[in-house]
Structure 1
Amino acid sequence: MKTQALWTAVDDYIADALVPPDAALDSALAASAAAGLPDIAVAPNQGKLLMILARLAGARRILEIGTLGGYSTIWLARALPADGRLVTLEYAPAHAAVARANIAAAGFGAHVDIRVGPALDSLAALRDEGAAPFDLVFIDADKPNNPRYLDWALRFARVGTLIVADNVVREGKVLEAGHADPRVQGVRASYDWFAGQPRVCATAVQTVGAKGHDGFAIGLVTA
């Protein structure tokens, strides 16, 4: 069996065993595909992992940088208590419109605040509004800005906040210090950020599956 086919088959096996069919999530993926959004949402088993991490963190407030069609947003929102809040930032108005409909159809419209526009502008606006700390920050947006997003994540953190950054392996390209792709350089800069940040205890895990060879970093704010 070819490598990618094997990885996908294993992900399918995991999902069949541990991630039951879900109308809201399936509809979100279908609506995103119908609207022409890129097929880059997290896999179902990865989405459930995000939900579990948010529950382990006791998250009442979640910040997501990069909404796309709202698939990961729905997973994260499912970890929230009844009075919880999730702020998600999306650059593209068309993507945000699809996400808004998907999130509302899943029953979380009242819990999710979608901010549209460049994420760095939205983050500055949150600062100006005096936003309270977040319990979990999920970063899955334009990779060249990862270090800036991490700076903001820490600004909005408290002791115990989890920071999760997706796509930090890039099919192994992260090993290439001179790689021309700014996304790879942004990811490499993310490792430098985590390594140099004394307030955060971090690691990263490479993954293979339906989404190919990639990985995620996770940091716990300790001070």
Structure 2
Amino acid sequence: MRLISRWQNSAGERVRIALNLKGIAYRYVPVSSLEPGEYRRLNPQGLLPALDIGGGHVVPQSSAILSYVEETYPDPSLLPEDPALRAEARGFAAHIASEMHALTVQRVRHFLRDDLGAGEAEVKRWLVHWLSRGFTALEETLAQRQSPSPFCFGDRPGWADLHLIPQMSNARRLGHDLTPYPLLLAVEQQCVTLEAFRTARPEAQPDFPETDGQAETASY
């Protein structure tokens, strides 16, 4: 399998963590290494990441990729055994992917600034509003768990955690204060020590830029 992504793409980081947790071998392909127009041909959506599973099949969208990986390589599962907890984990992750990440990505920020004429203060207000609402909901979700656990929904990392950690890193890069979310921070501390998360980090990817200046302008 080929995972086409780039170093600073939190959706791609989710997939890398999932593949690492399952011990699935894959080839990381920086989108910058492809010929002009090739990625759009492979994935008409044009968004990252995409998983080339062979046989002419290219799966776009991290949610679809994660579902494919879970269904095709069920052991170890990324989801809790209990059906109710499985649903909660999926809901937790969906809130990140659909309600937070989708509203704060670079193309949305650029549209606000370049097409709608929003100033930097207005774009910052947009980010703070949606990130604050999102993280507050996630923190309250963990606080309401019937059985607290070191990871979001159990004693090992999975579906919810691999969505959470890249989003927290993304929020820090955008200057959002995470100190009001102690339960989320506690989960993060458990995850960041694990190899599956460390090797999925942006700085561990072969296309990570050598100069810090590039990191601030890249899409996430």
TM-score range, shorter chain: 0.3 to 0.5
Larger helix share, 1 or 2: 2
TM-score w.r.t. the length of structure 2 is 0.34
User: What is the TM-score when the length of structure 1 is the normalising length?
Assistant: 0.33
Bigger relative CO (Cα 8 Å, ≥ 6 apart)? 2
